[in-house]
Structure 1
Amino acid sequence: MTEAAVPLTGLRFAKGHGTGNDFVLVADPDGERDIAPEQVALLCDRHRGIGGDGLIRAVRSMHLPEGAALLADNPDAEWFMDYRNGDGSLSEMCGNGVRVFVHFLIDQGLASLAEGEALTIGTRGGVKVVARTGTGYRVDMGPWEFIFPEQAGERGTDSLVEAAGLDVARPALSVSMGNPHTVVALADLAELEGTRLGAAPAVTPVPPYGTNVEFAVPADPLVTDDVGHITMRVHERGVGETLSCGTGACAAAVATRFWAGATAPDDWAVAVPGGTVGVRFFPGADGREHVELSGPAVIVADGVLA
């Protein structure tokens, strides 16, 4: 630990998850407690710390440069989700994390939200609007876009992915959901189960800031009752394999829907090892197509660091 790192003794925390994607959560409304990357890694260590795929610090937007910059155009974005991967590196956004973040704000008495109401949240991936539902939360994740649009439009894929357990490199499509994703379609569930994600898959070319890699199996039939169905596993940057990834589920739906063509539905159910999340495509007020993510959020414990 660096000399500049302030000891974390006495720090209050909570532990929460969204479909098994789990986080250490810390309330720091006035931005008084910056947590060093090595401290984040220690807290997220599953053997020597609390354990989690990442750490989320709840800070009022005015107390962070990234948050203050958002407030000029989004004065309702009182809270900023300061998200770190499990290795301590910064991350732009986390779709499961932002649901858990809002649930944490409510649990801590820092915000109130009735069913049907929404909160505007600042993130490094832009402002996200999170609404409470009867079974969890839904999030307007904003517009999606291809990371390599020329290749995507020409070939439908833009990269190759190698992973342990796959016999040859597989074609893939790179999608930005405010953070980068590379989606690989596999033939069946047996191939998905046999893919080993302990080590990071090799992506060529890799997006400029690295990428999360999703391995997706479309259902057969793909669409049931106007809902598309996908089963997915994911390797997250700076974390490894996780039980769920919200932005990854959105990216997998984007890629599968693109490959399926014009008749593909706007509503999707994405099964991940930790459960199932919903993905919906709709026209945004900015004239671009937006993606909505829905799913549960749970706080399982709280405590104080010794």
Structure 2
Amino acid sequence: MSTHPVDALTTLLAVPFAKGHGTGNDFVLIADPAGEYAISAEQVAALCDRHHGIGGDGLIRAVRTRDVDGAEELHTAHPEAEWFMDYRNGDGSIAEMCGNGVRVFVHFLIDQGLVALDAGESLAIGTRGGLKRVTVSENGYAVDMGAWRFTFPDQAEERALDSLVETPGIDAARPALSVDMGNPHTVVALQQRQELAAAELHTVPTVDPKPGNGTNVEYVVPAEPLVEDGIGRIAMRVHERGVGETRSCGTGACAAVIATRHWAGGVAADAWDVEVPGGVVRVRFSDRGDGVEHVELSGPAEIVAHGRIG
């Protein structure tokens, strides 16, 4: 017999939490500066349950990098990254990174008085997807997401497509392109917003071939024209691995822009606005002097509630 969600939380009773979101991608946040809380997958799922728990697409624990098992190399290489974003999907599974989550994470650190940042200042953050630098920007927070790559580079370069995706609500399997942003993404191009609206994303899409650790699946419709006044524009919905449909996905927005730009023959744009159900995030590309192209994601982050578990 499975444990009731409330029963799973007995060891976390009275632990303070916050609830936050970035363009509707929402999270339960727990500050653990002393590394005291060993939160199980079952407890994460119970907290993220929208009926029996607090509700969220995932849980983020703020812990010092030095106290995270498996982060020893990151801590040694980047001692300036005092804080680690311990991110779990809503089902309790471990995730490498979350572009919306890392913005909300930094906002939470400020909210908790654990860091202080002024406009234009940056903070180094440890994640399972590597070091991320987050800057206070005019539209919230900007994240250097680092370098990207195609998951199946031979197929991507040759055909601009590498997978087929079957999705309930869409009449046939559609070709897609897989992008690695430190976590896996598979981007499906659609021609019309009616198709985007018809996709039933509470069911896991079938992806063939599928990246080894599963994948997030983004569905994209380009604007017409694609680029206007130097800004590229696309609309997107996403099925997040281990969660279901979410109202936004930061790394997914980056992957969607990368795929769209690739399909459009490398069309030039100063920035890209990605419309998601929860709002708009902006994606830019830059050369940080290390010989690879970096992706920057920016957008808002909000804390909407504080409380205690139980």
Q: TM-score range by the shorter chain?
A: over 0.9
1:30 and 2:34 are equivalent in the alignment: yes
Structure-2 change in CA distance of 1:151 and 1:79 (3 Å)? same
Which of residues 180, 191, 194 is equivalent to 1:187?
191
Name the counterpart of 2:151: 147
- The 3-state SS of whatever aligns with 1:278 is strand
Name the counterpart of 2:218: 214
Q: In structure 2, how many angstroms separate the alpha carbons of the residues matched to 1:263 and 1:133? A: 26
Q: In structure 1, how many angstroms separate the alpha carbons of the residues matched to 2:41 and 2:49? A: 12
Q: In structure 1, how many angstroms separate the alpha carbons of the residues matched to 2:265 and 2:60? A: 37
Name the counterpart of 1:93: 97
- The 3-state SS of whatever aligns with 1:102 is helix
Name the counterpart of 1:7: 11
Name the counterpart of 1:176: 180
Name the counterpart of 2:166: 162
Structure-2 change in CA distance of 1:5 and 1:196 (3 Å)? closer
CA contact (8 A) 2:28 2:58 kept: yes
CA contact (8 A) 1:158 1:174 kept: yes
User: How many angstroms does 1:285 deviate by?
Assistant: 2.7
User: How many angstroms does 1:72 deviate by?
Assistant: 1.4
Q: In structure 2, how many angstroms separate the alpha carbons of the residues matched to 1:53 and 1:293? A: 19
Q: In structure 2, how many angstroms separate the alpha carbons of the residues matched to 1:48 and 1:105? A: 27
Deviation digits for residues 49-85 of structure 1 (CA, Å, limit 9, x no counterpart): 0000000000000001233321211111000000000
Which of residues 257, 272, 277 is equivalent to 1:273?
277
Q: In structure 2, how many angstroms separate the alpha carbons of the residues matched to 1:74 and 1:6? A: 36
Which of residues 51, 55, 58 is equivalent to 2:55?
51
Instruction: Tell which deviates more after alignment, 59-68 or 258-267.
Output: 258-267
One-letter code of the match for 1:261?
G
Identity percentage over the alignment? 65
CA contact (8 A) 2:215 2:241 kept: yes
- The 3-state SS of whatever aligns with 1:69 is helix
CA contact (8 A) 1:266 1:282 kept: no
Q: In structure 2, how many angstroms separate the alpha carbons of the residues matched to 1:198 and 1:243? A: 12
Name the counterpart of 1:117: 121
Name the counterpart of 1:291: 295
Q: In structure 2, how many angstroms separate the alpha carbons of the residues matched to 1:206 and 1:284? A: 31
User: How many angstroms does 1:179 deviate by?
Assistant: 0.2
One-letter code of the match for 2:241?
R
1:201 and 2:205 are equivalent in the alignment: yes
One-letter code of the match for 1:249?
A
CA contact (8 A) 1:5 1:36 kept: no
Structure 2 unaligned regions, length at least 5 = none
Q: In structure 1, how many angstroms separate the alpha carbons of the residues matched to 2:282 and 2:155? A: 28
Q: In structure 2, how many angstroms separate the alpha carbons of the residues matched to 1:271 and 1:263? A: 19
Give the alignment's TM-score, normalised by structure 1: 0.98
Instruction: Tell which deviates more after alignment, 153-162 or 263-272.
Output: 263-272
- The 3-state SS of whatever aligns with 1:198 is coil
- The 3-state SS of whatever aligns with 2:107 is helix
One-letter code of the match for 2:27?
F
User: How many angstroms does 1:31 deviate by?
Assistant: 1.1
